[in-house]
Structure 1
Amino acid sequence: MADPTEKLPYAVPETGIAELGLFGKPLFEDPSARALARVGVVDVGSNSVRLVVFDGAARSPAYFYNEKIMCALGAGMAESGHLSPQGRVRALSAMRRFKKLADGMGLSELSVVATAAVRDASDGRDFCDEVLRETGLRIWVIDGEEEARLSAQGVLLGWPGAYGLVCDIGGSSMELAEISGGRVGKRMTSQLGPLKLRDIKGGAKARKAHISDVIDKLKDKMGAQRDRLFLVGGSWRAIARIDMLRRGYPLQVLHEYRMTPRAVSATVKYIKETDPEELRAAAGVSSSRMALVPFAAEVLSRLVQTFRPKDIAISSYGIREGMLYEQMPQRLRDRDPLIEACRFAEAKDARMPGFGKTLYNLILPLYKSAPAPRKRLIKAACLLHDVSWRAHPDYRAEVCFDNATRANLGGLKHAERVFLGLALLHRYSNKRENARFSDLYEMLDETQRADAEILGKAMRFGAMLWMNPDEDRGEIRWFSKKKQLQLRLTSDMLPLFGEVAEARLNSLAASLGAEVEIKTVRERKPSAE
């Protein structure tokens, strides 16, 4: 079977506590993790002020609340030296609202950071004092290197063990940080934010020369960075949306979206040649963000030409997620974000929480020689196999596919999302004829689609044996050379193997091109302690 997961962009951690395995005690049940169950952070940037409240499994958090106000605090700073008066009024109003929301949500505190605009403005301290008087919120003004470190930690939240160069662009600055082996290395800041570039005198020629000069200096200090380039920030995400539009890309999920250097060059050209308003409407980019995209595109073009990364990945995680990561104990950081998120979903929504592990063990003989990345996806599928049971039976299969492909899951490439979604679709349906998803199916080759179908049908059969969790169910054995699928059941479990279960087993065998053999075995007695 072909494996869509052979080349993950990171080394998947096995577990924070090796002897427990990947199905060890979920850390979000640990008191230290429960303390992170709902965490509120505010990012006061040069272009926007955003409140994010994280909730759920702390290692792979859900976004309980997310609100952004485009304030443009840094607009005009190159000339005036102080914060935009209009932006300051809007930002203060946003902070009052965010404090009220936090109180209503029962948050004990909000962590608030301010970046380039506030740290560089002559009245930045005055603004922080005003916010403190008006709301009681204390703003932590961070320098450029600390901003780079937190953004890089946000990337590590989604990509454990990631390596490469993280580039975070805001309104007034751009930060670089190298990551390797799950650690943040060298980091630098620059004045390459779109709001600053917009104010440069001398037009496009002067701006281009300035961008080239700054990026060349960044390269001299950062050194060679030929690995993956992780892009963090709203302007980069807007460019990614435009790249998706240009390519006709079917999966509209920004996190883990990949671009090649050649694609970046084509999209920068596309931005230059297309009417901005038409482009904004077609790509779903706000007017205020679209106004900054041409300047950000110039920076990205030069950045890629200079550092020559092997590929480029969009990260939806940045400084706010980095602030959450900062608060995590190391044993929580070491956990796999995909498995933690799936585990939390099972605990919250499945009819029989914990059966995902039993199901995984039942079907594992089909994947005895599978590499660790493949087994990781199988574990995720087994944990999620029952979380959509409340959906109407006629639509349950497509709800499963939608959830997997569009859910907030870290550590999952787009092709892996589709593979996981297709496997879960087949958990509830033998067929996958659905014109709405056909473009997404094409992201996998024929063998990968067949593999997803086999996994789905294995879960579909295994779910028939879900009752009596403490009983010995027997086992599946797979003889790949003989193409024989053997089901070994104890006599006590035989009543569960009814007509529907038999039909599902035969369907799995047909997908494997195998013959079925049923054997009755003695119940295994628990070993004496």
Structure 2
Amino acid sequence: MNARMNAQSNDRVAVIDVGSNSVRLVAFDGAARSPAYFFNEKVLAGLGAGLGQSGHLHPEGRRRAMAALRRFAALLERLRPARVMTIATAAVRDAADGPEFCAQVLAETGLELTVASGPEEGRLSAQGVLLGWPEAEGMVCDIGGASLELAQISGGQVLAAETAPLGPLPLMEFEGAPRALRQRIKRDMARLRSNFSGPVPRLFLVGGSWRAVARLDMARRNYPLHVLHEYERPTADILRIANWISHQEPAHLATLTDTSLERLRLLPTAALVLKQLLDALAPGTVAFSSYGIREGMLYEAMPPDVRALDPLIEACRYTESQNARFPGFGDALFDWLQNLFGDLPADDLRLMRAACLLHDTTWRAHPDYRADMCFEAVTRANMGGVDHAGRLFLAVANRARYKNDGSAVDDHPAIALLPAERVKLATSIGRAMRLGAMLGGAHPDTLPDTELQLKAGQLRLVLRGGAQELMGEVVERRLNGLNTALGLDLPAMLDIQAKD
């Protein structure tokens, strides 16, 4: 089986993650290069609450965790994944009764928990970041309920990983003045930082507490694109939001976000940690990752040839295979557009390929709403390997593929995040996709005898041999629409040629 077939495998992979604060079951729809979440459920059990003082798992947290794991075992019997992976992290690792808990889980559910070391936990979280950002450079910080892990990534590899007891649960139990707590966090963070050398161009934040920080920052900024993954901000901005959160009551934070109150109770303490983290690492920028330890375990299950694939392109290719009228046309359309756009930078060509693969995936929607539904679907899609500007570029291109009038896109608040010249380029690509799709009915076999040309400032559509039968009023109208989008002064031409 080749890499692409492996990348779109339908064999489900399940991961059970027993953390210090939450217990979660995630079932991925195959070990795909871009994760597809078939099932996702979590319980904020709080296993690690009070661990610093008692040395044992929290009794009520243990009861809730066991109840969740019994349910997860029953669900697995029905989901029947091809593979089940488990991991237990800091609370189970550090608690005196951790081995006893694992034995109870095995006896009552048949699930054998794999207890990860701190560095192993950090390595897996960093692999989750690499699943979404294959070329990521910098540091990954994963915060759980009881611990914090740092890992350094470069060249598609995890170079090193370390851990420290800097999760909010043990810090909230600290018996001392606030100043003493801050000093302790600073000392532990400095020790952690001493294990890594060099500057940090980018810091990737993993974990529920960090995602809650991102949600609050979005709410305070009225940020129009509500996608946590690859939300990126200057370090100074994240420092400001961390400082603000550290002085807020959880009840007030709850008025600004739908994050659970259980999570928000941890957030002011987590914000203290974040401030010291930013001070110690001094990263160039800060990015939030929705991918972490569970995705890192999925990444580990992938064959090397699948890991080498582009997560964005594979996600779009899979979407095309499931939803397009004629899967395979996206690649044909991309090739057809090379005469117009082949000189674009590699990053833009990558986005154009992704747009072509997605161009026909909302065709079942009502025609009156298809363009806007396409825009929303693309901006909110579960895709790795694309930042927010890239998402918007894809959304504008695919909306322009469905609708000639760009006013609705111009009015969308998220468009302000994309420079005007990028909107123009995406619109031009969308108009070209619109022409190609209409010309051949979105079937791969209809484009070989047609060609788009741009010579001496004039756009020309060449139809050879039997392709001349495809000529019609709608084709001419869409050719003229593309000409307008490209800003050309000369009128577009139809060139009908006899087939050699």
Class of the TM-score when normalised by the shorter of the 2 chains: over 0.9
Deviations 1:320-369, CA, capped at 9 Å, x for gaps: 00001111111000000000011111111100110111111111211121
Displacement of 1:108 in angstroms is 4.1
The 3 A distance-change label for structure 1 pair 176 and 364 is same
The answer to which of 430-439 and 120-129 deviates more is 430-439
Displacement of 1:372 in angstroms is 0.8
Equivalences for residues 104-119 of structure 1 within 5 A: 104-119=78-93
Q: What is the alpha-carbon distance in structure 2 between the residues aligned to residue 102 and residue 53 of structure 1?
A: 9
Partner of 1:6: none
Q: What is the alpha-carbon distance in structure 2 between the residues aligned to residue 122 and residue 227 of structure 1?
A: 39
Tell me which of 388, 391, 405 is aligned to 1:414. 388
Deviations 1:158-207, CA, capped at 9 Å, x for gaps: 01121110000000000011000100001100000000111111031111
Partner of 2:114: 140
Tell me which of 280, 287, 297 is aligned to 2:254. 280
Q: What is the alpha-carbon distance in structure 2 between the residues aligned to residue 280 and residue 436 of structure 1?
A: 32
Q: What is the alpha-carbon distance in structure 1 between the residues aligned to residue 74 and residue 315 of structure 2?
A: 29
Partner of 2:462: 488
What letter is aligned with 2:452?
I
Is 1:89 matched up with 2:63?
yes
Partner of 2:125: 151
The 3 A distance-change label for structure 1 pair 329 and 437 is farther
The answer to whether the 8 Å contact 1:26/1:343 transfers is no
Partner of 2:241: 267
SS of the aligned residue for 2:466 comes to: coil
Is 1:521 matched up with 2:497?
yes
What letter is aligned with 1:459?
M
Percent identity of equivalent pairs: 49
TM-score (norm 2): 0.96
Structure with higher RCO (Cα < 8 A, 6+ apart)? 1
Q: How many residues align?
A: 496
Partner of 1:171: 145
SS of the aligned residue for 2:255 comes to: helix
SS of the aligned residue for 1:321 comes to: helix
The answer to whether the 8 Å contact 2:246/2:272 transfers is no
Is 1:476 matched up with 2:452?
yes
SS of the aligned residue for 1:110 comes to: strand
Displacement of 1:270 in angstroms is 2.3
Is 1:181 matched up with 2:155?
yes
Displacement of 1:435 in angstroms is 7.9
The answer to whether the 8 Å contact 2:12/2:31 transfers is no
SS of the aligned residue for 1:376 comes to: helix
Is 1:396 matched up with 2:362?
no
Tell me which of 29, 33, 39 is aligned to 2:5. 29
TM-score (norm 1): 0.91
Displacement of 1:478 in angstroms is 1.6
Structure 2 runs not aligned, ≥5 long: none
Q: What is the alpha-carbon distance in structure 2 between the residues aligned to residue 353 and residue 27 of structure 1?
A: 18
What letter is aligned with 1:476?
L
The answer to which of 219-228 and 111-120 deviates more is 219-228
The answer to whether the 8 Å contact 2:33/2:311 transfers is yes
SS of the aligned residue for 1:139 comes to: coil
Q: What is the alpha-carbon distance in structure 2 between the residues aligned to residue 378 and residue 435 of structure 1?
A: 18
SS of the aligned residue for 2:241 comes to: helix
Q: What is the alpha-carbon distance in structure 2 between the residues aligned to residue 69 and residue 43 of structure 1?
A: 11
SS of the aligned residue for 1:283 comes to: coil
Deviations 1:246-276, CA, capped at 9 Å, x for gaps: 2111111000001211111221232245443
Displacement of 1:437 in angstroms is 5.6
Deviations 1:464-514, CA, capped at 9 Å, x for gaps: 1225643532211123xx321111111311121210011001010011122
Partner of 1:14: none
Partner of 1:386: 360
The answer to whether the 8 Å contact 2:31/2:301 transfers is no
Structure 1 runs not aligned, ≥5 long: 1-24, 525-529
What letter is aligned with 1:477?
Q
SS of the aligned residue for 2:336 comes to: helix
